[in-house]
Amino acid sequence: MPQYQAPLRDMHFLMNELLDFPGHYGKLSNGDEATPDMVEAILTELAKLCENTIAPLYHSGDQEGCKLEDGQVRTPNGFPEAYAEYMAGGWQGLSHPEEYGGQGLPMSLSLIKQEMLGTANWPFSMYPGLSLGAQNTIMMHGTEEQKQTYLTPLTEGRWGGTMCLTEAQCGTDLGQMKTRAEAADDGSYRISGTKIFISSGDHDLTENIVHVVLARLPDAPEGTKGISLFIVPKFLPGADGGVGEANGVQCGSLEKKMGINASATCEINFDRATGYLLGPPNEGLNCMFTFMNSARIGTALQGVAHAELSFQGALPYAKERRSMRALAGKQDPDHVADAIIHHGDVRRMLLTQKAIAEGGRAMLYGAAQYADHMVNGVLEGDEEKREYWDSQLGFMTPILKGFLTEMGQECASLGMQVLGGHGYIREHGMEQILRDARIATLYEGTTGIQALDLLGRKVLLMTRGKCVREHSRKLTDFGTRNLSNSKLRPFAWKLLRLAGQWNYLTMRIAMIARKDREQVSVSSHHFLMYSGYVTMAYYWALMAQKAWEKIDKGGEQSEEFYRAKIATAEFYFDHLLPRARAHAESMVRPTASTMKIKPEHFSFDYE
């Protein structure tokens, strides 16, 4: 059974050595309190909470699952008590304004908090995670009265939050949405309709749940241009800021799922429920993207979380399990057989998990700094700064969400494989990680949707390749600076070639798509995965560079840690980065072989 241990040494490496979070926080208007001592105290205390309270509920929560009793969802045993401890620690408001009960610290600390929570127990982390999205959306688009009413209880964790988008007839294509909103005499609205797949849609962890709901006004235009956003609480706010009377919101059923069984995934029925317009009429989809982008970054964390937890489960087993002798000769001569960690194929699997977990963490922490700058632009009222960093984060978001969740699923599968038949048995806990990981490539926009958003919308339509040029310049800069360094030259050469290839492929697809518009759709998955491998290569090169600097400086107590970083970087460049070549070749292939078979010719019953 995996026993979660917060990877504090790797977190410290990224924050204090590679990415200079202390210097980064010093440049933020809300970073004064994020001193090294404060950050260290936060990480230490959060690690204790996650390791001792939240992680032990991971397996039992999966076995027990959630229950719907008399219209109320009950979470597994231990969840309410763990959430109460989480709430008492003030963790929900870590990065939200002090005026609404938060601590006002930079957004990146909230993301790092979510990583720990998610790795310890992903289903548990979804309850406060969805609330964060509701908080951010109301903060960005709510009126002052709405902020005063909802943000304090959400920030304190007394109330939870959700987003309600999907309906039975539509998922990503929200233009088909049917939920209606009718104006009432008091300025509120009556919301009617049914939403499905609502994570944290009902539970017993908080006294109220604030639903952020997409619905149509009676005179709204057709399609996505006619969607508005509403705040619809389970219980109406009381006059004293507490909970008032029940609203017309009911959990109709719990979804029976493959994984994340301890997370309540609900069908929510709105029966003329009282709602309040959030943002301008018919601009709900734009406002909802605040929630969506928060959720997508949060889901990208899931890829890293499952890679890390599966690695933590597989590594001890590989050191203890004995089978045959290593091809290089006896490694454990005092035993009847060698530990399987001495076998090359097992090392391949473990190193893949390690490379993805640590490389993905570096990518996310880099993106977290973008988020800090974006929020800082909002706080300073600097729209130009906000837009710039929003565009930087916008380019990275589909890469992080799409690539890291695909790789996290692969790593979860590898963890099962290391344990062999024992990995398939429920009591060892490895198959649960794979079941839980599977949803990550589906919700908040499937990998295909992320790929189309990246290539079709952000690369070709919005920036005409400028975003690729900007991000590939980082690879070029690393390469040119380090060509003369014998230790880093192999990384430098490859990054230089990749920078040129990334731009060439972008231009090539754009040229082909002028004549064949399906090229974007057919190429997009390969483009996203290629972009992910290349971006992770850049971060592994940076980590290798920093590790060599520390070793060359001498006197480091953590030399083994740094040498492991360098070895993992070399493994990534030798064994995982070559996958990018296949994606590069496939993304510029003609679409005919994909598109020429007519739908009616897809059959399992040919005559």
> What is the SS3 assignment for 19-57?
CCHHHHHHCCCCCCCCCHHHHHHHHHHHHHHHHHHHCCH
User: Is pLDDT of 48 > 90?
Assistant: yes
Token duo for residue 121: 């127990």
Band of residue 287 on the pLDDT scale cut at 50, 70, 90: confident
The C-alpha atoms of residue 266 and residue 422 are separated, in whole angstroms, by 33
C-beta of residue 120 within 8 angstroms of C-beta of residue 2: no
d(CA 554, CA 279) in angstroms, rounded, equals 56
DSSP conformation letters of 511-572: HHHTT-THHHHHHHHHHHHHHHHHHHHHHHHHHHHHHHHHHHH---TTHHHHHHHHHHHHHI
Tokens of 340: 């399987």
Where do we find the tokens 């030259």? Answer: 489
287-448 folds as Butyryl-CoA Dehydrogenase, subunit A; domain 3 (1.20.140)
Contacts for 227 with CB less than 8 Å, ≥ 6 apart: 174, 175, 177, 214, 215, 216, 220, 282, 284, 285
User: Given a cut of 90, is residue 580 above it in pLDDT?
Assistant: yes
Structure tokens belonging to residue 463: 């920036």
- Residue 427: DSSP 8-state: G
Per-residue confidence (pLDDT) for residue 423, from 0 to 100: 96
Sorting pLDDT into bands at 50, 70 and 90, what band is 404? very high
Give the pair of three-digit tokens for residue 313: 């489960």
Where is average pLDDT lowest: 41-55, 215-229, 464-478, 538-552? 215-229
DSSP annotation of 261 reads T
The mean pLDDT of the chain is: 94
- So what's the pLDDT on residue 290? 66
Query: Of the candidates 533, 510, 536, 388, which has an alpha carbon nearest to the alpha carbon of residue 455?
Result: 510
How far apart are alpha carbons 300 and 546 in whole angstroms? Answer: 25
**Does residue 292 or residue 302 have the better pLDDT?**
302
Residue 233: helix, strand or coil by DSSP? strand
Q: Which CATH number is associated with domain 131-282?
A: 2.40.110.20
Q: CB within 8 A of 475, min separation 6: which ones?
A: 495, 496, 498, 499, 502, 534, 537, 538
Residues ≥6 apart with Cβ < 8 Å to 109: 34, 39, 42, 94, 95
Name the nearest CA neighbour of 588 among 524, 496, 494: 524
Q: Does the global pTM surpass 0.85?
A: yes
Q: How sure is the predictor about 240, in pLDDT bands with cuts at 50, 70 and 90?
A: confident
Domain ranges for the chain, please list them. Answer: 131-282, 287-448, 454-593
- CA triple 392-43-58, angle to 5 deg: 95
Show the tokens assigned to 533. 């491998």
Q: Give the span between the Cα atoms of 65 and 259, in whole angstroms.
A: 10
* pLDDT digit string, tens, across residues 498-508: 999 999 999 99
CA-nearest of 84, 107, 210, 83 to 151 is 210
Q: Which residues are tagged catalytic?
A: 444
Q: 212: which residues sit within 8 A by CB, 6+ positions away?
A: 133, 134, 137, 138, 161, 162, 163, 164, 229, 230, 231, 232, 278, 288, 291
